[in-house]
Amino acid sequence: MINHRIALLHSNISAKAFLKIQVSFFSCSTRVSQTIKLGEDAPKYHVPNKAHENDPIKARVPGSLFYNRTLAPNFRLANEPLYTNPLINFVIGAKRFTFAFGVVGLCFSYLMAQTQLILPEFCTIMSVVAVLPFPAITWLYNPYVFKIIRVYDITKPQTLESLTTDEQLIVQRVNWSGFKVIQDLVRVDSLRVPTTKDDYEARFGFVNLISEDPETKSVKYFYVNEGFGNIKMERIWSLAERRSGVDNDMKVVIQKCKQASVTVSNEVVSKIGKGLMLLVGISTEDTKDDVEKLASKVLKLRLFEDFSGEAETKTEWAGKPWQKTVVEAQGEILSVSQFTLYANIKKGAKPDFHRAQKGHLAIELYELFLKLLRDGIGETKVQDGRFGNLMEVALVNDGPTTIVYDTKDK
């Protein structure tokens, strides 16, 4: 009898709880349907920037050395950084270790001097040796960037025009002690890359991104490890390079050949006779317009002889040179993708390829380039290699005739 009453009690509680959940669910649904009305302006449903209230964004403005500005509540930081340096712990450790080493070295030198058992000169030398690494490491790693985070204005619609107008970044670095993060507010349109040795401020190459504020004329130096980042960071690099006049456009190496072939894993995958051998490079800034311009130039370029006319020189030319296009000469085209055309070897011995477009984006433009060539000369007249594969390219250069073309050449 008691167990029966307990079971009844539990069933009543469960039923009431279930009924309460149902009522609250329907009441919430009713509230939502009454509040949200189609056709009203989106700002009515604006979500407050709670993150700013709890942790406001503080940054150093151009021309200042201190945190003297808190950004307005309408700004927030992106959820994911554009760039994060996983090697920053090495920099933090170096600063903290050299600081501790200097303090301990000074104390030890002082104690040795107090004993009067060791020459004062030796104690002085020891203290200098202990202290010197800290200012050297601090000076050398001062431009070293920890994170780069985009700043959004939540009052503006998240359109491409809004995001790229007055675009700002928070650039985080580690302070002199290695225990605190410094945040610099930087405009994207103020960034450029070094073009002369003076830009590096004699830091042994530890500066590769510079911000020059147009209003205050202040200059800030940063070092960003180019091996890390994402596609959005590649865009920032491209804008900075364009502002510095760095060549970053679609390139092609055009070679007139008697024959050419591509071999992959000991298998000949493509082969042509008389025609053009192309090495095609696609940069992070290239568009369909660049592809169309490049394809048109290749098809219109007059590199072949007109054998119906006489040679104009006393050399061994057979026929009149520079008269016919590859289409008119009934030649073929072998095209090979070549991202190494954008290698940067200004600093160090290892080539840097960050200006070359990423594979999944480059292949779209490259396939469009092949399509335009085939439309102009014929489907069977255009061969290509294997995109992204290790290839062996062989050719017999006719002439030799080799031309390098850039889509931004004027």
Give Cβ neighbours of residue 130 (< 8 Å, ≥ 6 apart). Answer: 101, 102, 104, 105, 106, 108, 109
User: How far is the C-alpha of 83 from the C-alpha of 226, rounded, in Å?
Assistant: 9
Q: Which of 339, 357, 383, 407 is catalytic?
A: 339
**Quick one: which H or E segment has residue 64?**
none
User: How far is the C-alpha of 91 from the C-alpha of 223, rounded, in Å?
Assistant: 12
User: Is the C-alpha dihedral spanning 118, 121, 124, 128 positive or negative?
Assistant: negative
φ, ψ for residue 24, nearest 5 deg: -65, -35
User: How far is the C-alpha of 133 from the C-alpha of 24, rounded, in Å?
Assistant: 66
- The verdict on whether 340 is a catalytic residue reads yes
Spatial contact of 393 and 385, defined as CB atoms under 8 Å apart:
yes
Give Cβ neighbours of residue 89 (< 8 Å, ≥ 6 apart). Answer: none
* CA 358-257-335 angle, 5° bins: 20
Q: Which of 114, 124, 164, 340 is catalytic?
A: 340
Give Cβ neighbours of residue 85 (< 8 Å, ≥ 6 apart). Answer: 144, 145, 146, 147, 224, 225, 228
Q: How many CB atoms lie within 10 A of CB 393?
A: 15
Residue 268 CB burial class (10 angstroms; 0-12, 13-18, ≥19): exposed
Q: Which of 84, 98, 284, 338 is catalytic?
A: 338
Residues classed as catalytic? 338-340
